[in-house]
Structure 1
Amino acid sequence: MKPKITVIGSSNTDMICRVRSIPRPGETILGNDFLIVQGGKGANQAVAAARAGGDVTFITCVGNDAFGQQAIEAYQKDGINTSCIQKIDGTSTGVALINVADSGENSIAVAPGANAHLTPEKMEEFRDVILSSEIVLMQLEIPLETVNYVTRLANQANIPVVLNPAPARIIDKEIMSMLTLITPNEHEAKLISGHLSFACSEMESASEIQNQGVESVIVTMGSKGAYFIDGISHGMVKGIKVQAVDTTGAGDTFNGYLVVEWAKNKNLPEAIKKANKAAAISVTRMGAQPSIPYANELAEF
């Protein structure tokens, strides 16, 4: 049986320009390749979870425009249930403008568009879908009040909630205590934990976040791997070093694979290993969703 995963989050169209280096403020540089691909943290994670072998329902809002229709069609090709995607008149589908340097680093500006319409009232329409999930996965490119509403709803029904807190924001302590798992990167972990010092280790950040009531914490560290702490154990799961071409969507690939693997065997370190491998493959390719591997590719990597 495929794990039943509900992903609630953003849907964007990514406009990507390959550049020699990330332009400084006021600087104009000539780019190389230009791509238009599907993106958005919620959408990326939904696609990753589907390609990992999950039974995925994606709840989002898109504009009633060509970008929105193209996005829905792309999700359907990946076997994602799109019945909970709403088209919003009078606003555009979310757009991300992305510069990707030759080093693999990126800079991103996002215009949320229809994502701002993903409100708690919309979540009430999909209450039964959320309550039928094995795991709910969310991020922070949507209104924070929506994340809070869904977290309370799922928590009352004892449904695990996984939050990828990106882009980083301060989260209410009551909500933190209802999360089953939170997956910040190193910088997000420092902000959420309150330890903004560069000297603060990922272990200290994770411990402080867990002290806020979260059951389990994973601090992702790129090619170095990920540090985890839960109610049973803690430790570092090594990453995989590859030649990065584009790091866009690597964290989303990690999260999508993580929830599916975790739902299958309930073993967090093993789920992290698979997610690390999927993320490593993704950075060797251009674009967010085009770079996400299928499950059979992990066996060959």
Structure 2
Amino acid sequence: MTTTDNSARIAILGIFVADVAFLAPRLPKIGETIAGSGFAMGPGGKGSNQAVAAARAGGAVTFISKIGRDTFGDMALAAWAREGVTARAPQSATDPTGAAFIYVNDQTGENAVIVYPGAAATLSPADVDEAAAVIEAARVFVTQLEQPVAAARRGLEIARRAGVTTIFNPAPAEPVPEAIYGLCDYIVPNETEAAALTGLPVDTLDDARRVGDALLARGVGTALITLGGRGALFHNRDRSIHLPALSAGTVIDTTGAGDAFVGGFAAALARGEDPVAAARFGGAVAGIAVTRRGTAPAMPTRAEVDALLAKA
């Protein structure tokens, strides 16, 4: 059982979706039907996954979103209650809860995703303003780009004004207003997202450092670039540290690995860990999550993460 540190308050703005995951050797071509090797349905969505990861890692998490008044909405409420996540997610009577199609390669664990945010697509700056007190009371605020960018920007503005540490996960990759960068204490893109934001390749560690410099030039405090099996790069004006990936076993499903990293990083920051140590903790959370099927259900407890770090 995870012990929650109530002083480690984390506010996360994002979406919930019901993940519908199919295992198969490849994606079908248009007009083709192929046989799958597995199927699962469960709670997902970047923001919600990050909330579960942070809560299992010991954080006191409030999740800000919107869901529908439907079966998938019931799934969301049950998942948050089970994980100890406080939900601030009104239910729409007209818009459905989001859903995601996930293809997982049954040989490599690599994935492809189509996500429909549903009711969370209507999240507006005014909705975020209604949750301002939650954001202002947090030690760490996290958001991404599955909900409208205007809502994400408003959350970052409220957090920055209140002196709350901000983490921006620019996923899925899309252009963002330049003003957002200056609101980010930490920006946490993966290789694809980092390349999309800067127009620069991320093929080598030196490439990642150049990308980090480009993000710092736009006003970001620290660029924390996740590099898949190569680990992550923690890069700011004072330190540039490559953090190797931590292996917890055979990789079977990389879906949600980035969410695991972000949620773990946020939880460690919220309890006052040094940022580099917090990034290592996030890497350990991701290292365990990829050895399990699913997204939110794959997130480890703090005890599991501490055990992996003790062996590293």
Q: Under a length normalisation based on structure 2, what TM-score does the superposition of the two structures give?
A: 0.92
Q: Output one character per residue of 1:156-208: Cα deviation in whole Å (capped at 9) or x when no partner.
A: 22222100110011121111111111000111111212325857711111111
Partner of residue 96, structure 1: 100
Gaps of 5+ in 1: none
Moved more, 118-127 or 287-296: 118-127
State the partner residue of 2:250.
Answer: 243
Which amino acid in the other structure matches residue 95 of structure 1?
A
Query: Equivalent residue of 1:124, what SS?
Result: helix
User: Equivalent of 2:123, from 99, 118, 121?
Assistant: 118
**Count of matched residue pairs:** 300
CA distance in 2: counterparts of 1:24 and 1:281, whole angstroms: 32
Which residue does 2:264 correspond to in 1?
257
**Secondary structure in structure 1 of the residue aligned to 2:223:** strand
- How do 1:274-293 residues align onto structure 2 when only pairs under 5 Å count? 274-293=281-300
The alpha carbon displacement at 1:233 in A equals: 1.0
* CA deviation after TM superposition for structure 1 residue 246, in Å: 0.8
The structural deviation recorded for 1:275 is 1.1
Q: TM-score, normalised by structure 1?
A: 0.95
Moved more, 2-11 or 115-124: 115-124
- The match for 2:218 is 212
Q: CA RMSD in A?
A: 1.5
Q: 1:197 to 1:104 in 2, by over 3 A?
A: closer
Q: Is the CA contact (8 Å cut-off) linking 1:224 and 1:240 kept in structure 2?
A: no
Bigger shift: residues 20-29 or 191-200: 191-200
> Which residue identity does 1:85 align to in structure 2?
A
Q: Distance in 1 between matches of 2:276 and 2:306?
A: 18
Q: Does 1:55 align with 2:60?
A: yes
1:21 counterpart = 2:26: yes
Verify the 8 A CA contact 1:91 1:114 in the aligned structure 2.
yes
SS of corresponding position for 1:265: coil
SS of residue matched to 1:121: helix
161-170 vs 235-244, greater mean Cα deviation: 235-244
Aligned match of 2:275: 268
Cα distance in structure 1, aligned partners of 2:270 and 2:256: 21
| C-alpha distance in 2 between matches for 1:96 and 1:53 | 27
What are the ranges of 5 or more consecutive residues in structure 2 without an aligned counterpart?
none
Report if aligned partners of 2:12, 2:51 keep a CA contact under 8 Å in 1.
Answer: yes
Give 1:17 shift. 0.9
Verify: 1:144 aligned to 2:149, yes or no.
Answer: yes
Q: Do the aligned partners of 1:258 and 1:274 also contact (CA within 8 Å) in 2?
A: yes
Q: Distance in 2 between matches of 1:98 and 1:75?
A: 21
The one of 191, 204, 209 equivalent to 1:203 is 209
* Contact 1:130/1:136 (8 A) holds in 2: yes
